[in-house]
Structures are given as structure tokens and as C-alpha cells.
Amino acid sequence: MSLLVAVTWETQPWVERFARYLPGRAIVVLGEEFDRSKIRYVATWGPKPGSLDRLPNLEAIFSLGAGVDHLMGYPGLPDVPVVRVAQDDLTHRMSEYMVMHCLMYLRDHARFAAAQRAKRWEEDRSPPIAADVRVGIMGFGVLGQDAARKLKMMGFDVAGWSRTPKSVDGFTVYSGEGGLSEFLARTDILISLVPLTPDTRGILNRTLFEKLARDGRLGGPILINAGRGGLQVERDILACLDDGTLKAATLDVFEAEPLPEDSPLWEHPRVTITPHNAAVSEPEATARYIADQIHRHEAGELFQNIVDRARGY
Amino acid sequence: MSLLVAVTWETQPWVERFARYLPGRAIVVLGEEFDRSKIRYVATWGPKPGSLDRLPNLEAIFSLGAGVDHLMGYPGLPDVPVVRVAQDDLTHRMSEYMVMHCLMYLRDHARFAAAQRAKRWEEDRSPPIAADVRVGIMGFGVLGQDAARKLKMMGFDVAGWSRTPKSVDGFTVYSGEGGLSEFLARTDILISLVPLTPDTRGILNRTLFEKLARDGRLGGPILINAGRGGLQVERDILACLDDGTLKAATLDVFEAEPLPEDSPLWEHPRVTITPHNAAVSEPEATARYIADQIHRHEAGELFQNIVDRARGY
């Protein structure tokens, strides 16, 4: 009846949270002595190789964040349901990030911030309106659709792209390889929210950037990636910024995190960097969500948000 | 049958626009020779004293922007309807401004921008969520209500304050002098959209700032003024920022515009300055709106958005 918490940092706060939401259960951590046959559940983020092995009575693995790419690469991942955390809170935070950064580009915030530093009163005669700006959301799941609705309500012209065909009220959703070029050709601001899988690794590269719209009101295409750093090729982003293929980029995730101090991204004048905080999971809500899933399961219901291993998300 | 365009800058583009939307009418400007008895309409912004006098057949005055304070102080303003421009476009732009700046405060954008400049990967462990932040919109007319709906949809806890009692679905609207203190006491981010009248001149002062909530999640109250500069006492804003009565301020309007180069606001680390561009009127839409109103009037209908001279807006 035990829950094993397998994280590589901050073990104790998680143990305390789970103890509160799952009273009466044994909550154990790696490195302690415990009976491996008693472990029924694992809550984990980035488990080290070997740490999830030899758990004969395991019933489910819970990811402590929204993505599961940190688990999919685990060698010999136990053959039990892998459950993603899906919290409204996290979805809302991600939408905040997208709405804020799209508005900052629409309203040319960087230009007016520079004008303030120079104590210059800058005229702003005929700025574009939101309806003039085409936002394209790559990855049109729960996160992508919530962001789409909010961006649309702010007036942006929003469309989505999804790996598999999808019908979402109020939006054109392009799909598959075939729909990708058409989607990119109508996109001024590209938002990446695709899951990281072997298929999507490095997808944000020069070949893709070159297909973005070049006739928009913002003076060139813009990339916003708050999905996973593994999606992007940073060398290509820098080169494309420098030769005008991209106008600007807002990046929350990186090939290596924390972003190394010697990365040229830090001081590129048209790169906005945030420290993987677009959608910080609220630990209390995460623990509560996992406890709820355990209660559902033990009441004979199905887990929610089980990962499809074939797709990898 | 003439329209007099009385602006102090950029006359010719306005004449061309009106000529397009009002074909066959004489469009005249100050300084030219014209028959004053033929002027039926005036379109104006900040008219100089005397420029609207001796127009015996005048039927209406149109303001070329949303506010009319520039007209209300005109000595001997002709006793004809004064019509405000009310464009969706302008409303949407104002809401963009409010949503963007509230999100930038919620997500502590200034801190992460500083971290980027220092090439520092800043941890962001338990940021507030939008529902933790109470936005108070002072002035709950068309602009205030549109901003309120959009801020609410982003998750903020929004209330309004109006001079006269008002009932708006989905929002608590405080009113009058009596409701003001209660409204301020529940407000973390104060948005000012009140019209500038003799009653509201200088209303954004120390006495008011001291009534704002001090128990919020943002570390102190924040002011966003994109209404009129005459509402604010800049000396008080600076002093309140320095003694902690205010945490930060975002100002789009100023006592004097352009903001003088020697204003200490420019380089205050917790002041964000924009050059009165929160809601730039789109000149084409403004000209079309005024032409529409003239057509309505001549078809025997009432003008829309007539200013109440007793209230001053």
C-alpha cells in the first residue's frame, strides 16, 4: 500500500504533501530502506536509471509535471499505466504566458521599453491591431486549445496544428505533415506546445522557420517555445534571427537547462528568456491530483490522462 | 453643408479622410477662407480658444478621440451636442494594454527581464496565480467593462468602481464616495479609466494610494493609469513609490505630454512608461464613425454617445 516518491531533488516537501492527501499510507523515498513488493504507486520526475526497477506490485506511475518525455526515455519503464498531471492551474498559467508574450509583440513592448531607457517619447501612429496578427499554435491539445480561446478573445487570428486530424469549434486546425506547410505559411507568431517525442525532437529548426509567413504586420515571424527545449535547434534559431528568417523569439525552455551562462541566447537583443517558468506546477495541486487519481483507481474507476506509449504522450 | 476640421496638427490627412467618407461636402480647415455660416459640423481635438466661435448654424461637435476633457475646458463651448468617438477598436486596444500589464505584474516580468540581462537562471517556485490578484477598475464604462471581462477570463479577481451606481453582470461594482474606500481596500492593481473632469482632477494622489490593499500577493499595490494625465499627481506617485505606499506604476498618460526629459519618472526602476499609446485611435475608423453619425443625424436619428455636459463626459 505504499507510494514511492522518486525525485532527484526536494524529496521531503513531496513526502509531506502526499502524507497529507493520502493519510494512512506509507510514503517512501529512494535511498531509504523499504519493502519493494509493497510499492503500488510511484510519483516521479526524471527518475535515475534503475530506480523504478524491481517493483513487482506496481500499479501506476505518476509524472509530477505535465510532460512525460522525462519518463519515456527510461530504460525498461515498467509496463503499468503512466499518468500525466493535468491541472487547470497549469493550463491557465501557460495561457497567461502566451497571451502576455503575444501582446508584447503586438504592442512592440521592446521598442517602448528601449524608448523609456533613452527617455524618448516615441510616436506610435498606426500600430497593427490583434486581428492583423496570425497566431499559429502547434500542438492543439488541452494547453493549446485554452491558449487559442484566450488569444482569440483578445482579438488575434488564431489557428492550430495537430499531429492527428482534430475538429475544434471556432478554429481551423491543420494536421499532419501535409497540413504543416499550409499552417506555417499563415503564421506570424508560432507557439510551440507539441510534446517531445522522437518524432518532434529538433522540429523547430531552419527548415520549419523558413516556411513561416513573411507578409505579416510584425516585420517577420516570431517563435514562442514553452514546450520542451528538445524541440528546438538553438543554433538554427540564432542563425535565423541573424539573417532575418526570424524576427524574434521568446524561449522558456532550452536544449540544456539551466541555460548555460555562455549561451549567446542570453544577450541576443531579440530573444526573450524565461527560466522554464511559463507554467510552474503548483505542488499542492499536483499532490492533490495524484491522490485523487489513486482514490479513483481504488474505487474501480479508470485513471485519467493515461499516456499513450505508442505516441509517447 | 460644411464640416470644419479644427485640429492643431496634421490637418491634411483628416481632410482627405473626411472627403472620402463624406463625398460632396465641403471640408474646410482653420486658417482658410470659408463662410462661417455654412459650417454645420466641427471635428476637433484640442481646439484653440476662439476657433469654434461665431458658427451660427453649427449642429454638432465631434471629438476626434475618446476623451472630451480637451473640449470641456473650451471657453464658451457652442451649445450643440458634443459627440464622443466610441470605437470597438479603441476599446479592444485599451483592454490589450490592461491585460498585458496586469499579466506582466502577475508574472513578475521585470524580475525575469533583469535576470536575463544578468544571465541568471532565476528559480520561480511558487508564483501567485491570477485568482490571487485583485484588480480594481476605476471608471466602469465601455472601456472599463471590456477590460474587466478580459481580465476575468484570464483568471484575475476583478471589481469595478463607478461614480454612479451600476449593475454589471458578473462583477461587483462599488460606487460613489461611499464605495470608494471599500473598493480600494480590496484592490492590488488599480486601473484608472475615469474621465477627467473638475471632480476627478488629481484623484490619483497619496490619500487614495494609502487606501489600497496592503495584504496582496504582489508585495504592494500597483497603479496603471491610461486614462488622462490630469487624474494623477506625479509628485505623490514618486513619493509613494519611494516609501512603499505603491509597489510599482505603469503610466501611459502624464501631467505634461510629451513627458519632459527631466521627469524622474523616466528612470524610476519601478515605473513603466508608454507614450500615450495604450489605445491609439485608428484615424480611418474615427473618420468613418463621424461620417456615420452625420448620416444618422441627417436621417432624423439621434447622435450616439452624446456627452452629458453636467457630468463632463
Interatomic CA distance for residues B187 and B214, integer angstroms:
9
Question: Residue B308: which residues within 8 A CB-CB, separation 6 or more?
Answer: none
Which grid cell sits at B54? 461665431
pLDDT at B1: 58
pLDDT at B5: 84
pLDDT at A32: 87
CA distances from B180 to A6, A72, A290, B78 (A): 52, 55, 44, 34
> For A204, phi and psi rounded to 5 degrees?
-85, 80
Q: Is the confidence at residue B175, as pLDDT, over 70?
A: yes
When the candidates are 3.40.47.10, 3.30.9.80, 3.40.50.720, 3.30.565.10, the CATH number that belongs to A2-87+281-298 is: 3.40.50.720
Q: Where in chain B is the domain with CATH 3.40.50.720?
A: 2-87+281-298, 89-273
With H, G, I as helix, E, B as strand and everything else as coil, classify residue B292: helix
Interatomic CA distance for residues B153 and A150, integer angstroms:
8
Tell me the pLDDT band of A245, cut-offs 50, 70 and 90: very high
Tell me the pLDDT band of A126, cut-offs 50, 70 and 90: confident
Helices (H), chain B: 11-21, 69-72, 88-106, 109-117, 142-153, 176-185, 206-209, 234-242, 283-298
Interatomic CA distance for residues A282 and A99, integer angstroms:
20
CA distances from A163 to A179, A185, B86 (A): 9, 17, 43
CB pairs under 8 A between A and B: 109
Nearest residue to B208 (alpha-carbon basis) of B176, B241, B184? B184
pLDDT at A236: 98
A261 and B119 in contact by Cβ < 8 A? yes
Q: Residues A150, B149: contact at Cβ < 8 Å?
A: no
Give the closest-approach CA distance of B231 to chain A in angstroms: 20
Q: Residues B134, B161: contact at Cβ < 8 Å?
A: no
Tell me the pLDDT band of A310, cut-offs 50, 70 and 90: confident
Enumerate the residues of chain A whose CB falls inside 8 A of the CB of residue B103: 96, 99-100, 103
Distance of CA A108 to the CA centre of its chain: 25
A228 is catalytic: yes
Helices (H), B51-141: 69-72, 88-106, 109-117
B154 and A95 in contact by Cβ < 8 A? yes
Report the pLDDT averaged over residues B281-308. 91
pLDDT at B276: 95
B92 and A257 in contact by Cβ < 8 A? no
Mean pLDDT of chain B: 93
Interatomic CA distance for residues B148 and B156, integer angstroms:
9
pLDDT at A1: 58
Amino acid at B44: T
The single residue of B206, B276, B288, B309 carrying the catalytic annotation is B276
ipTM summary value: 0.86
Enumerate the residues of chain B whose CB falls inside 8 A of the CB of residue A129: 89, 92-93, 282
pLDDT at B294: 95
Kind of pairing, strands B248-251 and B271-273? parallel
B121 and A93 in contact by Cβ < 8 A? no
- Picking from A104, A115, A258, the nearest residue to B121 by CB comes out as A258
pLDDT at B245: 98
Give the closest-approach CA distance of B141 to chain A in angstroms: 19
With H, G, I as helix, E, B as strand and everything else as coil, classify residue B63: strand
Q: Residues A129, B92: contact at Cβ < 8 Å?
A: yes
Which grid cell sits at B187? 484592490
Which grid cell sits at B253? 498618460
Least confident of A205-219, A283-297, B137-151: A283-297
B96 and A130 in contact by Cβ < 8 A? yes
CATH architecture of B89-273: 3-Layer(aba) Sandwich (3.40)
Instruction: Report chain B's terminal Cα–Cα distance, integer Å.
Output: 27
- Picking from A96, A117, A273, the nearest residue to B154 by CB comes out as A96
pLDDT at A86: 79
Tell me the pLDDT band of A9, cut-offs 50, 70 and 90: confident
Give the closest-approach CA distance of A132 to chain B in angstroms: 12
pLDDT at B96: 97
- Could you count the other beta carbons within 10 Å of the beta carbon of residue A91? 19
pLDDT at A280: 83
Which pTM value belongs to this model?
0.87
Report the pLDDT averaged over residues A238-248. 98
A96 and B125 in contact by Cβ < 8 A? no
Q: Is the confidence at residue B248, as pLDDT, over 80?
A: yes
Interatomic CA distance for residues A237 and A221, integer angstroms:
12
Which grid cell sits at B148? 474587466
Report the pLDDT averaged over residues A187-214. 96
Interatomic CA distance for residues A112 and B277, integer angstroms:
10
- Picking from B97, B103, B109, the nearest residue to A99 by CB comes out as B103
Per-residue pLDDT of B1-58, as tens digits, reads 588 888 777 888 899 999 999 999 999 998 888 999 999 999 998 898 888 999 999 9
A163 is catalytic: no
